[in-house]
A = this chain, B = another copy of it.
Amino acid sequence: MENQTPAAPAPLFAPLFGRVALIGIGLIGSSLARVMRQGGLAGHIAVAARTQKTLDTAKSLGLADSITLDPAAAAKDADLVVICAPMSAYAAIAKAIAPALKPGAIVSDVGSVKSIVARDVGPHLPPGVHLVPGHPIAGTEHSGPEAGFAELFQGRWCILTPPAGTEWTAVERVADLWRRAGSTIEIMDAAHHDRVLAITSHLPHLIAYTIVDTAAQLERDVQGEVIKFSASGFRDFTRIAASDPVMWRDVFLTNRDAVLDILQRFNEDLTALQRAIRNGDGKMLEETFTRTRAIRKSVIDAKQA
């Protein structure tokens, strides 16, 4: 009798959503599934993925009540559909699930670029279905359903970008889900989101990918030493540059204009520093490096450090 597991306590409240469909079950999708499991937030979790292997993993991790290779089958009768797949698949997924959606269903996503959702998903949805695009500002350099964990969203921001005219109750229900995951909600315009994230996230990732790739192209003996002494700064970039290649390919393809714009400014600033180094302009270097310290202080003051 000692080893018998006590029955799980009954949830204090009814689930937030009856049936939730997750289209894609990678790092973010599986973390969200864990949140819903722990909080008893979904009556049924239906998971769709592109491979049987991923589905079997999700099932064995206890993240899915039902699994299917067909997004429409997962979305059928769902109260909430969350697209957790690469953004290049959004249009095809929206097209596939549209006929299966019931009136009043909410469609959301977790992608890093938000203008694309209104563009690629919105037009396919039948009337009476609510579109509430979302972006949890959270992640690690690991991918796949095994990489997820329920605490991923705790203390982080989740940005929602409902198109103008979206029904407020639908936005509130999605916001409530993310609040239960431990996140703080921010609502903004999709285009504005994409400009801000181009700076805070997309450019840093592009730069990290570049610097690590520059090292990857060095002669093999130097490369060994670069790895050996990577703790001197390079290491932090390798972590960022280990993020999911398909997801990041899609980020740069879908947020092209905002990324190219901020990249242009970055290039100008880098060229100015390059010239200062070449000319031995210590004053300019020191002034720049002092200015950047103030930004760090702001990050710490904002409790984001």
Task: Assess the B289–A204 pair: CB atoms within 8 A.
Answer: no
Q: How many monomers of this chain does the complex have?
A: 2
Determine whether the beta carbon of A228 is less than 8 Å from that of B289: no
Chain B residues within an 8 Å CB radius of A285: 245, 248-249, 252-253
Question: A256 to chain B: closest CB distance in Å?
Answer: 6
Interface positions, chain A 235-250, Cβ under 8 Å from B, are 235-243, 245-246, 248-250
Minimum C-beta distance from A113 to chain B (A): 12
| Segment of A4-12, A48-56, A208-216 in the binding face | A208-216
Q: Does A227 contact B295, Cβ atoms closer than 8 Å?
A: yes
Partner of A240, one of B217, B233, B276, B297: B233
Name the residue on B nearest A285 (C-beta). Answer: B249
Q: Is A199 an interface residue (CB 8 A)?
A: yes
Interface majority SS (helix, strand, loop, mixed), chain A: helix
| Complex CA distance for A172 and B63, rounded to whole angstroms | 58
Residue of B nearest to A204 (CB): B233
Query: Which B residue sits closest to A274, measured CB to CB?
Result: B263
- Cβ contacts under 8 Å, A137 to chain B: 229, 231-232
Which of A15-23, A64-72, A265-273 faces chain B? Answer: A265-273
Determine the chain B residues whose CB is within 8 A of the CB of A277 once the complex forms: 252-253, 256, 259-260, 263
Instruction: Supply 30 A–B pairs (Cβ within 8 Å), ascending by A.
Output: A157-B231, A196-B226, A199-B218, A200-B234, A204-B232, A204-B234, A206-B270, A207-B211, A208-B292, A209-B273, A210-B269, A214-B266, A217-B269, A227-B299, A230-B302, A231-B304, A233-B240, A235-B305, A238-B295, A238-B299, A239-B296, A239-B305, A241-B289, A241-B295, A242-B292, A242-B293, A249-B289, A253-B285, A260-B274, A267-B270
Question: 4 more A-B contacts (CB under 8 A) besides A207-B207, A212-B295?
Answer: A88-B282, A199-B218, A200-B232, A249-B282
